[in-house]
Structure 1
Amino acid sequence: MALAIIDCETTGLKWYKNGIVSLGAVDITSDDKFYEECRVEDDIEVDETSLLVNGFKDADVKDPSKKSESEVLKSFINWCKYHSVNMISGFNVEFDISFLYGIAKRGNVDFAAFPKYYFDIKSIFERNVLMDISKRPMVNEVCAKYGIDVGTPPYVHVSMDKTLKFYNIDEDEPKPHLAINGAVFATELYFLMKYKTHYISRFSNSEIPDYLNALKFDFGPPLKVENLIRSIELKLKSV
């Protein structure tokens, strides 16, 4: 399956009332990149805390010269069609998919044209590394070195920046966050896990730790986007 790795920057954490301000993606096969910013409509809630993360101002997210969220989503779907992308991924990608679905729902965009399958890089790393008791000595060593708290199995969690620390990459995603940077850094992590090599050339001198280099990550079968949409709609009914 042709794969693209994506990231969204948003105006909040809830797909059904917040929107996106930018969308970035990397096509794994061609290395072509997608990046567009957009405006949100007046009825979309804007959380100032989220804007601090992505560096956008109120004027930026309401800028009439920018494309609408629906227009950017349509452009992304067409980009996926051009590259024959039928599977997407990212770090905590279910968050991103839910927001893109919210745009489609509000703007009457045909979401059936969206890629059909996905997998989550974050969940795969946590399942293969953090939840594996046999790897706890190595995990504890990294956590102590960088001051990371991942919790106790099976209740584990780690950000993308902290996940990269396990690969000796002591550099965070550039701030303020741009969606294309998020997609590129997530692609780096995917390459490390899948191919045992670096995607970002400036990290090439960072040696992959032996216990991760020897690990064959179980990615499992791809998940269906339609099942995720059904799940988030059910959760919305209980809100």
Structure 2
Amino acid sequence: MLVVDIETTGLDTEKCSILSIGALCLEQINNTFYGECKIWDGADIYEEGLAINGFTKENIKDSKKQNEGELIFKFLKWLDQFDNKIIAGQHPMALDIPILKSACKRANIDYKFSHKTIDLHSLAYGYFLNKGIQIPLKEDGTSDISLDYIAKYFDLGEEPKPHNALNGAKYEAECFGQIIYNKKLGII
């Protein structure tokens, strides 16, 4: 299982750009990937997104950085070493997988990920129900199980701000380790 986190210029997977990708193999926790890229011309940029991930407008347009297609190509090359290419993360089907698909399309690269993923939120929801822990809800009645909530529950603290895709992947992996293996992996 590959734990993946992606930082972007916003949540619209067709109009926003990848800024960074962080990943690690849960079975080989020291085997990590991290890369950043400049945004593609015309990508939408949302101030709220930059405030969360800490990238600046100057940083995301840095001509010295690789482009999004080059980053995707390197990420896919890193993935080639693994037999198990199942992507895991906090809501991977909401942002990570769709933006990877869009980035591959923009770069004319064949998308080779499965539509099957492992969602940390879903595993944590089941874990909490099994332990008799009340599920935190937002005002609209939907789940409020965030990565920070899960990490705090397992005494991992909050993910450092600003966000970093590799730190995000490591925090997610630690939470997966607690739920799946009932132990801390020691990577954060």
Which letter maps to 1:193?
I
Distance 1:161 1:20 in 2: 22
Distance 1:77 1:19 in 2: 17
**What residue in structure 1 maps to residue 102 of structure 2?**
102
Query: Which of the pair has the greater relative contact order for Cα pairs under 8 Å at 6+ separation?
Result: 2
Distance 1:84 1:134 in 2: 33
**What residue in structure 2 maps to residue 156 of structure 1?**
143
The answer on whether the counterparts of 2:89 and 2:120 sit within 8 Å (CA) in structure 1 is yes
Distance 1:93 1:201 in 2: 21
**What residue in structure 1 maps to residue 84 of structure 2?**
85
TM-score, normalised by the number of residues in structure 2? 0.89
What displacement does 1:166 show?
A: 2.1
Task: Please state whether the residue corresponding to 1:7 is helix, strand or coil.
Answer: strand
Task: Please state whether the residue corresponding to 1:82 is helix, strand or coil.
Answer: coil
Distance 2:62 2:100 in 1: 20
Q: Which runs of 5+ in 1 are unaligned?
A: 141-148, 203-239
Task: Please state whether the residue corresponding to 1:125 is helix, strand or coil.
Answer: helix
Which letter maps to 1:177?
H
Distance 1:201 1:114 in 2: 25
Which letter maps to 1:139?
Q
What displacement does 1:29 show?
A: 2.4
Task: Please state whether the residue corresponding to 2:85 is helix, strand or coil.
Answer: strand
Structure holding more helix per residue: 1
Q: Which runs of 5+ in 2 are unaligned?
A: none
**What residue in structure 2 maps to residue 215 of structure 1?**
none
The answer on whether the counterparts of 2:123 and 2:179 sit within 8 Å (CA) in structure 1 is no
1:117-128 counterparts in 2 under 5 A? 117-128=116-127
**What residue in structure 2 maps to residue 72 of structure 1?**
71
Which letter maps to 1:52?
A
Distance 2:171 2:162 in 1: 14
Task: Please state whether the residue corresponding to 1:67 is helix, strand or coil.
Answer: coil
The answer on whether the counterparts of 1:77 and 1:114 sit within 8 Å (CA) in structure 2 is no
What displacement does 1:105 show?
A: 1.6
Q: Can you list the C-alpha shifts for 1:71-112, whole angstroms capped at 9, x where unaligned?
A: 11111111111233321101111121111111012221110x
Q: Using a 3 Å threshold, how does the CA distance of structure 1 residues 81 and 115 change in structure 2: closer, same or farther?
A: farther
Which letter maps to 1:97?
I
The answer on whether the counterparts of 2:24 and 2:33 sit within 8 Å (CA) in structure 1 is yes
Aligned with residue 192 of structure 1, among 173, 178, 186 = 178
The answer on whether the counterparts of 1:18 and 1:44 sit within 8 Å (CA) in structure 2 is yes
**What residue in structure 2 maps to residue 212 of structure 1?**
none
Q: Using a 3 Å threshold, how does the CA distance of structure 1 residues 197 and 134 change in structure 2: closer, same or farther?
A: closer
1:1-239 counterparts in 2 under 5 A? 3-31=1-29, 32-94=31-93, 95-111=95-111, 113-115=112-114, 117-129=116-128, 132=129, 135=132, 138-139=133-134, 149-151=136-138, 155-169=142-156, 171-200=157-186
Task: Please state whether the residue corresponding to 2:122 is helix, strand or coil.
Answer: helix
Distance 2:144 2:137 in 1: 5
Q: Using a 3 Å threshold, how does the CA distance of structure 1 residues 186 and 7 change in structure 2: closer, same or farther?
A: same
Structure 1 vs Structure 2 CA RMSD:
2.2
Q: Can you list the C-alpha shifts for 1:105-141, whole angstroms capped at 9, x where unaligned?
A: 2221110x33564211112212442xx4982xx337x
Distance 1:155 1:40 in 2: 33
Distance 1:106 1:74 in 2: 12
The answer on whether the counterparts of 2:127 and 2:179 sit within 8 Å (CA) in structure 1 is no
Structure 1 window deviating more from structure 2 (118-127 vs 29-38): it is 118-127
Distance 1:19 1:44 in 2: 6
How many residue pairs align between the two structures? 186
